[in-house]
Amino acid sequence: MSTIDSANPPQEYPDIVGARPTNPLAANFKSFIPASAHLPELTWPHLITGTNLGIIFGVITGILIAAKEMVGPLAAIGHRIEEWQTAHNPFLSGPYADLLALIPFFIICLLLYLVGRDLLLVSHSKS
């Protein structure tokens, strides 16, 4: 007959592998979303709709890019714009183009952090 180690008893959640955490906050962690919760975002109609929209917009983008390259006047305009960007746009070419291209991502990360901390776009209820 096997005995149960009191320092490391069987876990309630079998997907968590390993010894029980020694940090009391981690050891007493309970998921904010219970397992019994029904998430409406993860239902088949929503997943199918999102997949179909992704396919549709991807096809439209591909068609527009192909049309721009195949139609003579549009191709000429596209090549002139690309030449101008190469010469004048530091985000496209140059010694710091990669770093400059990260600026919008840093701004998005900062905005998401501020929204997540309720420092930005906070809705105040009227009470």
* 81: Cβ contacts below 8 Å, ≥ 6 apart: none
- Whether 41 is covered by a domain: the verdict is no
- Whether 123 is covered by a domain: the verdict is no
- Whether 38 is covered by a domain: the verdict is no
Q: Which residues of 18-45 are buried (b: 16+ CB within 10 A; e: fewer)?
A: eeeeeeeeeeeeeeeeeeeeeeeeeeee
- Whether 124 is covered by a domain: the verdict is no
Does the pLDDT of residue 1 top 60, yes or no?
no
Q: Mapping DSSP to helix (H, G, I), strand (E, B) and coil, where does residue 83 land?
A: helix
The pLDDT assigned to 106 comes to 95
**DSSP alpha helix (H) spans, the chain:** 24-27, 44-70, 72-88, 97-101, 103-116
Domain total in the chain = 1
Mean pLDDT within 21-40: 74
Q: Domain of 95? A: 46-116
The pLDDT assigned to 88 comes to 86
- Whether 54 is covered by a domain: the verdict is yes
| Structure tokens that stand for 62 in this block | 């591909």
Q: Looking at per-residue confidence, does 15 or 48 come out higher?
A: 48
Does the pLDDT of residue 107 top 90, yes or no?
yes
Question: Tens of pLDDT along 38-96?
Answer: 777 778 888 899 999 999 999 999 998 888 888 888 888 888 888 988 888 887 777 88
Residue 19: DSSP 8-state: S
119 vs 125: CA distance, rounded Å? 15
- Name the band, by pLDDT with cuts 50, 70 and 90, for residue 8: low
- Whether 92 is covered by a domain: the verdict is yes
- Whether 100 is covered by a domain: the verdict is yes
| Model pTM score | 0.39
